[in-house]
Amino acid sequence: MKYLYKTALWVSIFGLLAFFFDFGFSQSKSLQHILDSIFFVVLGIGIFSSIFRYFENFKLIKRKVFIFDLLSIAFTVWIFYMYLFVGVPFKTDFLLENPIWVRIAVIFTFIREFSEIKFNYKRTLLNPAQLFVSSFLLIILLGAFLLLLPNATYTGISFIDALFTSTSAVCVTGLVVVDTGQYFTEFGQIIIMILIQIGGLGILTFASYFSYFFKGGSSYENQLALSDMNSSKKIGEVFSTIKYIILITLSIELFSSILIYSSLNANDFKSQYDQIFFSVFHSISAFCNAGFSTLSNSLYESGFKYNYFLQLIIILTFSLGGLGFPIVSNILKYIKYRIKKILFSKSRNLGYRPWVLHINSRITLITTFSISLLSFLAFYVLEYNNTLADHNSFGKAVTALFGATTPRTAGFNTIDTSSMLFSTTMMVFLLMWIGASPSSTGGGIKTSTFAIATLNILSLAKGKTKIEIFRREIADISVKRSFAIISLSLIVIGTGIMLISVFDPDKNLKDIAFECFSAYSTVGLSMGVTASFSSLSKLVLILIMFTGRVSMLTIIIAVFKKIKHKNYRYPTEEITIN
């Protein structure tokens, strides 16, 4: 049986390679027949592998994955029946008339077989931080090679531009060196969309949950490692946390894509399929705070910059993605609690007030709301007679709100960014640097870091030796991490500005700084100079985007070996600061 499972795994990997070869290159009829034969061999072996797995251990039928396997086997048998007894092409069957369904079945076969691999995170040579960093590197390189495939672009692409685009997508940044809509084919845009989704959630999130789902459990060591990577407070809740992350993401993206579709004018698209693809692409890009758009000028494009309903949907979507999964989950829990309290307050004694909304959620929500409100008012006043001049009163408010919230890692633009006043640009610098919330799809130093730094200043001004808020004391380790993140961010951004000014001395310093802040905070807003940078400058931005996404602190933790806690303390000395 072991040989059958190993064979199924390697055949599914070969099928995956054939899948990319099929879509990445133009095929002759004879070669297409060979690829189709490979796909059916993969599906056939996948069926036998799944069936024998249940014969070997009949207890597996009690697991939830049995339903998935049953549907997969039934669908695959149906495909075989259609090929053998109905014939090709399937003009009588709408579902199988498009061969994409066969390819999708091959992908699911690969996922099914790959998920059966027994992989132990704690027994690898890499610690959780190194695994996290390595997973992003692997996906970036894989994405770059996929974008180099002939069918991914209309005219071909250089390796540095493919690497830049892949890094920008995986790191959910949105900076581009080529026009996404005009340069990449539909296949290339789908690759970018998948890279954005994987980059927003993390490949280990998907891989771990699929493994848990198909095998029905996981080792304690794996749960311990995943709790470090996903910031789970309880080891036993690791996979439930991952499940909620995936469910929340897909639910919001689905709902957002439906709203986006309903807000669009059908006359702006060649077909209904293009309208659906636009909706799905921008929904994923918005929730993951990627900022990628199939439009040449993002939402500043003619026909979209006055679509205020679309802009409000995009704002809501990237705001939810920027809040972070723990915050969104906690908000949903709080709403559920409030509804129960309203419905059952008369019949139940709810004399106590449980701490439903955590301190993390309170600090994040207050900081996010305060920054958004102040930046909205500032943007509205400063740009009223400038970039907002062409809009009506309602349009000015929506565009100002968009311009005030998108710098916090969303990356979409409804105005000409390079036309902003200098004072507004300086405000955008600060907003980009602050970024989104922790454990979100956004970047930056994060709102919690900014909040802790501000609270620390207030505590020092009042003569306090500790930070207290909402009847809670902020842990010293959180304060240390916050100031480490702030220092490291300025070092990375400053080094990037210096290097690019050396490699491209003809570029304006403000433009260089804007691109570097945008890259580190994974924002994607640009002054329009990214494509004109030299290869070395693009490489610098690639490194900045990667560092900003995985965090410089995580990279340092991955490099340095942890020392064991020693039970002693040296005498304390104060250092002269000012």
Q: What is the pLDDT of residue 144?
A: 92
Long-range Cβ contacts of 163-168 (<8 Å, 24+ apart): 163/542, 164/538, 164/541, 164/542, 165/192, 166/140, 166/141, 166/195, 167/140, 167/542, 167/545, 167/546, 168/292, 168/524, 168/545
| Tokens encoding 142 | 């894989």
Residue 292 contacts residue 176 (beta carbons within 8 Å): yes
| Tokens encoding 470 | 């909402």
Angle at 144 between CA 105 and CA 432, to 5 degrees: 110
Q: 371-384 pLDDT, tens per residue?
A: 999 999 999 999 99
Per-residue CA distances from 482 to 316, 378, 447, 449, 561 (Å): 27, 27, 10, 5, 21
Per-residue CA distances from 351 to 40, 309, 404 (Å): 64, 43, 41
| 184: exposed, middle or buried (Cβ count in 10 Å: 0-12, 13-18, 19+) | buried
Q: 78-94 pLDDT, tens per residue?
A: 777 766 666 554 444 44
| Tokens encoding 511 | 């433009």
Q: From 348, 287, 294, select the one nearest 322 (Cα to Cα).
A: 287
Q: What is the pLDDT of residue 346?
A: 56
Q: What is the pLDDT of residue 527?
A: 87
Q: From 192, 447, 410, 228, select the one nearest 319 (Cα to Cα).
A: 410
Question: H helices within 383-446, ranges in order?
Answer: 393-405, 422-434
- Separation between Cα atoms, residue 69 and residue 50, nearest integer Å: 7
Residue 512 makes CB contacts below 8 A (sequence gap 6+) with 497, 500, 501, 504, 529
Find how far residue 449's CA is from the centre of its chain.
Answer: 20
- Separation between Cα atoms, residue 218 and residue 204, nearest integer Å: 14
Helices (H) and strands (E) in the chain, counts: 22, 2
Instruction: Tell me, letter by letter, the H, E, C secondary structure of 165-211.
Output: HHHHHHCCCCCCCCCHHHHECHHHHHHHHHHHHHHHHCHHHHHHHHH
Three-class SS state of 94: coil
Which residues, in sequence order, are bridge partners of residue 153? 184
Three-class SS state of 534: coil
Q: At what angle do helices 128-147 and 186-201 cross, to 10 degrees?
A: 170
Q: From 14, 32, 13, select the one nearest 23 (Cα to Cα).
A: 32
Q: What is the pLDDT of residue 324?
A: 76
Which residues, in sequence order, are bridge partners of residue 334? none
DSSP assignments along 296-351, one per residue: TTGGGSTTTTT-HHHHHHHHHHHHHHHH-HHHHHHHHHHHHHHHHHHHHTTTS---
DSSP assignments along 489-519, one per residue: HHHHHHHHHHHHHHH-TTS-HHHHHHHHHHH
Q: From 225, 170, 232, select the one nearest 203 (Cα to Cα).
A: 170
| Tokens encoding 466 | 């500790």
For the chain, what's the residue count? 578
Please tell me the pTM assigned to this model: 0.84
Residue 436's Cβ-side half-sphere holds a number of Cα atoms within 13 Å equal to 33
- Separation between Cα atoms, residue 498 and residue 386, nearest integer Å: 31
CA dihedral (306, 309, 312, 317) positive or negative: negative
Q: What is the pLDDT of residue 402?
A: 92
pLDDT beneath 70, residues of the chain: 1-5, 54, 56-66, 82-99, 114-128, 202-242, 344-355, 561-566, 578
